[in-house]
Amino acid sequence: MAALLTLFLSACASVVEPPAPRWSIVVHGGAGVIERTNLTPELEAQYRAAMQRALTTGGGVLERGGSSLDAVEAVIREMEDDPLFNAGRGAVFTAEGKNELDASIMDGRTRAAGSVAGLTRTRHPISAARAVMERSRHVMLIGEGAEAFARSQDLEQVEPSYFFTERRWRQLEENLRRNNLPIPQRPAGAPPAPRAELTYPDDHQFGTVGVVAFDAAGNIAAGTSTGGTTGKRWGRVGDAPIIGAGTYAQNGVCGVSATGTGEFFIRVGVARAICARMEFNGESAQAAADNVIAEVGATTNASGAAGDGGVIVLDGRGGHAWAMNTSGMYRAFLQDGGEPEVYIFADEEE
């Protein structure tokens, strides 16, 4: 009898879920080949501080009772201004030497969404994406038209050279040399090339930013912003501005933001696939994230390369998960009353 009672009690305990946080926020700053050997202690400290700042900004909005959409937008705007990240200022360059910026945002309450691709003059692409969602009848705008819309909404415009950073320019030069492509002129308005040979220990192209937030009203929002991939050509657009690939949010189910080689994330429909597994299969956020990242890794392109990248996820009650098949992903999590968690390397939490 006692044994039966113990069995009954432990069965009950295993189905009791942990109490939902009042609010929570999860942030990424890009996934890729991030190894201890190619990140100097100074740069590592800068990234950790930036991720911590993101939590402080987003947590502040949510603690004051702000909406998840406001938290997502506020954090991404700050990261778009930070040259460490491949979004807004500090974005990677196209083969023609331009910064073409993509972003998207989704409101889990109504599944309203907005996105922009190929912006070159709007300082905060995430705000342009939000304006598309809230002030147009459309979901996705691209190029000149998207820019004209952003201007019409009084969103801050800047000279294209505002987005220029020496670090990303060097990455472009290396990329074009490797691919035997011509190196374009430095963009008009960019500072003159420094005479001293600069070294950038972390020379890989990552730093897309993404945020998923859960607010005190139970609403989930997700957003993603990127400059795409170094040396991109022909108006290439990745997954970040594609709803269902790079970004998804649905109240009571999930919120997702992805980072990685966008072509694979589009083909797998990553963000929506994670939410669908949670909604229809009853998978946990962690199981769904792991399963879909495994699918990405099992997908190859014409050159035989496999998909690489990572995701951050919140479940319908604000619990978080993340998954990656790269050696690192800048990632951070905070919930009300909790301690901030900031990680870079894939093996850091073991």
Q: At what angle do helices 270-281 and 285-297 cross, to 10 degrees?
A: 140
Please state the closest distance from residue 145 (CB atom) to ligand ASP, in A: 20
230 catalytic per annotation: no
Neighbours of 65 (CB within 10 A): 11
Type of residue found at 199? T
Q: Which residues have C-beta within 8 Å of that of residue 297, sequence separation ≥ 6?
A: 306, 307, 308, 325
Say whether residue 307 binds ligand ASP (CB under 6 A): no
Distance separating alpha carbons of residues 79 and 91, to the nearest angstrom: 11
Say whether residue 316 binds ligand ASP (CB under 6 A): no
> Applying CB under 6 A, which of residues 115, 226, 250, 327 lies at the interface with ligand ASP?
226
Q: How far is CA 120 from CA 29, 51, 124, 130, 160, in A?
A: 21, 25, 10, 17, 6
- State which residue, 119 or 240, has the beta carbon closest to ligand ASP: 240
- State which residue, 25 or 117, has the beta carbon closest to ligand ASP: 117
Say whether residue 84 binds ligand ASP (CB under 6 A): no
- State which residue, 239 or 315, has the beta carbon closest to ligand ASP: 239
Taking alpha carbons only, the member of 211, 73, 63, 87 closest to residue 134 is 73
Q: Which residues have C-beta within 8 Å of that of residue 177, sequence separation ≥ 6?
A: 183
Say whether residue 30 binds ligand ASP (CB under 6 A): yes
- State which residue, 55 or 240, has the beta carbon closest to ligand ASP: 240
The stretch near ligand ASP (CB under 6 A) out of 43-51, 116-124, 152-160, 226-234 is 226-234
Distance separating alpha carbons of residues 141 and 138, to the nearest angstrom: 8
> Applying CB under 6 A, which of residues 21, 97, 223, 238 lies at the interface with ligand ASP?
238
Total of residues contacting ligand ASP (CB under 6 A) = 13
- State which residue, 205 or 219, has the beta carbon closest to ligand ASP: 205
Identify the sign of the CA torsion 234, 238, 243, 245.
positive
Q: Which of 208, 230, 259, 326 is catalytic?
A: 208
Say whether residue 228 binds ligand ASP (CB under 6 A): yes
> Applying CB under 6 A, which of residues 91, 240, 275, 332 lies at the interface with ligand ASP?
240
Residues catalogued as catalytic: 208
